Amino acid sequence: MHQRLKMIRISWKWKKRATTFLVVGLFGLLAFELCKSSSKHETDHLRVDLKEDIRKVQQFFKSNTYVFTWSSCEQNISATNITNFSSFPGPMKDFLYYRHCRHFPMLLDVPDKCGGASQSAEVFLLLVIKSSPVNYDRREVLRKTWAEEREQNGVWIRRLFISGTMDSGKEKERLNKILELEHREHNDILQWDFSDTFYNLTLKQILFLEWMERNCPKARFLLNGDDDVFANTDNMVQYLQGLEDNDGSKHLFTGQLNVGMVPVRSWSKYFVPVQVHEADEFLPYCSGGGFLLSGYTAMVIYNMSQSITLLPIDDAYMGMCLSKAGLEPSNHMGVRAAGLDTSSNNIDRHDPCVHKELLLVHKFPTSHLYLLWNRIHDPKLKCFVSTKL
């Protein structure tokens, strides 16, 4: 709390300084240009340009309030005291050094994605897609397929990619530039300045929820998932509209339910030592590949997360937050976050009829996704046989 207050004060000082600097600069420029230009015609042009510049500066401060808000978070040196710390792999060490950091500067924001906080109930389904800066081609295909922003069955679907940063120096700048270009064109990226790694996914989720509380607290439902899934958003809208007695203001958290999952204690992508999570089992949670939740439940999770230490496995962390609130995740048969089991029942992964009935399937190469989405929407598609999955 103390740290937060201090940072806000610094941020104000900086904002004031930056504003003063820009305003003085603009007026200096105006005076200079006015002396230089002779004809009235030229001056008029200039006024228009300057107005445009002033508008841009104002816009900058309106949309980038958080640019100046957080200073960098310090490494926790005491983490080295943890038993066997030195034997942990690098990513786990990084996680422990920075586990307490929850605020990072925003690089790209879309504060008006939901039409403002008070209007946000107009958004029926907000797609919140975890995407790393390098996954440009995945984002491009999603925008053209299941994640297209549209009115579906009379309600609105909106899209956001959530991202951190990668690499350092020139390479980091280059990747940020790609996101910035995409953002300029599509207005659909939230990016914070933290390393976009597997163990930082929980951080990414919390940063998103914090953003949601500020900018889109009343969105009815959310799909939270990876950028390599096939999500049948048409079916999702239908399913959510069919929920009795829940317009997003009650609990919903559904997907592929995992119960009794055991933390991986040996070194792998999912390694979680006892020093980080003592219990032998995770609490029930839905696979992070993709799950559906209500706006209400998203805000409950955000509230609970304030007092739960970060766990490096983001979907299991969601389960902890739900449990603390006394809520349970549920299973939805249509969500195949682990992919389809195509070995046994003669199922063709590429058969559009198989996917017409499902809500979500992991994991798809982008080109297949593009083809499948189009085949499902082919008015000539006829699915005779009911799919037994």
Please select the residue that binds ligand NAG; options are 19, 78, 119, 238, rule is CB under 6 A: 78
Looking at the Cβ atoms of 296 and 373, the one nearer to ligand NAG is 296
Please select the residue that binds ligand NAG; options are 67, 79, 162, 175, rule is CB under 6 A: 79
The answer to whether residue 38 forms part of the interface with ligand NAG (CB under 6 A) is: no
Instruction: Read off the amino acid at residue 146.
Output: W
> What residues pair up with 198 in beta bridges, in sequence order?
none
Looking at the Cβ atoms of 199 and 230, the one nearer to ligand NAG is 199
Looking at the Cβ atoms of 91 and 352, the one nearer to ligand NAG is 91
Give the shortest CB-4-to-ligand NAG separation in angstroms.
13
Give the shortest CB-73-to-ligand NAG separation in angstroms.
7
The answer to whether residue 323 forms part of the interface with ligand NAG (CB under 6 A) is: no
Give the shortest CB-32-to-ligand NAG separation in angstroms.
41
Give the shortest CB-307-to-ligand NAG separation in angstroms.
11
Give the shortest CB-215-to-ligand NAG separation in angstroms.
15
Instruction: Read off the amino acid at residue 88.
Output: F
- Between CA 376 and CA 232 the distance in angstroms is 10
The answer to whether residue 221 forms part of the interface with ligand NAG (CB under 6 A) is: no
For tokens 């969601």, what's the residue?
318
Looking at the Cβ atoms of 76 and 246, the one nearer to ligand NAG is 76
Give the shortest CB-216-to-ligand NAG separation in angstroms.
14
Residues 359, 366 contacting (CB under 8 angstroms): no
Alpha helices in 99-229 (DSSP H): 136-144, 169-186, 201-215
Looking at the Cβ atoms of 49 and 171, the one nearer to ligand NAG is 171
The answer to whether residue 249 forms part of the interface with ligand NAG (CB under 6 A) is: no
Looking at the Cβ atoms of 91 and 115, the one nearer to ligand NAG is 91
Residues 196, 168 contacting (CB under 8 angstroms): no
- Read off the tokens for 351: 């058969």
Give the shortest CB-14-to-ligand NAG separation in angstroms.
20
Q: How many residues bind ligand NAG (CB under 6 A)?
A: 24
Pattern 95-134, ligand NAG, x by CB under 6 A: x--x-x----------------------------------
Query: Phi and psi of 75, rounded to 5°?
Result: -65, 140
CA–CA distance from 35 to each of 38, 45, 47, 296 (Å)? 8, 14, 13, 59
CA–CA distance from 114 to each of 142, 216, 310 (Å)? 19, 6, 28
Give the footprint of ligand NAG on residues 256-295 (CB under 6 A). 274
The answer to whether residue 76 forms part of the interface with ligand NAG (CB under 6 A) is: yes
- Between CA 162 and CA 175 the distance in angstroms is 14
The answer to whether residue 299 forms part of the interface with ligand NAG (CB under 6 A) is: yes
Please select the residue that binds ligand NAG; options are 69, 145, 200, 258, rule is CB under 6 A: 200
**37: number of Cβ within 10 Å:** 14
Give the shortest CB-35-to-ligand NAG separation in angstroms.
48
The answer to whether residue 194 forms part of the interface with ligand NAG (CB under 6 A) is: yes
> Three-state SS for 42?
helix
- Between CA 135 and CA 347 the distance in angstroms is 29
- Is the four-CA dihedral 338, 344, 350, 355 of positive or negative sign? negative
**356: number of Cβ within 10 Å:** 17
The answer to whether residue 82 forms part of the interface with ligand NAG (CB under 6 A) is: yes
Nearest CA among 134, 136, 142 for reference residue 368: 142
Q: What angle do CA 327, 290, 243 make, to 5 degrees?
A: 55
Give the shortest CB-99-to-ligand NAG separation in angstroms.
6
> What residues pair up with 229 in beta bridges, in sequence order?
362
Residues 197, 218 contacting (CB under 8 angstroms): no
Angle between helices 295-305 and 314-324 (to 10 degrees): 90
Looking at the Cβ atoms of 128 and 360, the one nearer to ligand NAG is 128
Looking at the Cβ atoms of 168 and 386, the one nearer to ligand NAG is 168
Binding interface with ligand NAG (CB under 6 A): 76-84, 91, 94-95, 98, 100, 194-195, 197, 199-200, 274, 296, 299-300, 303
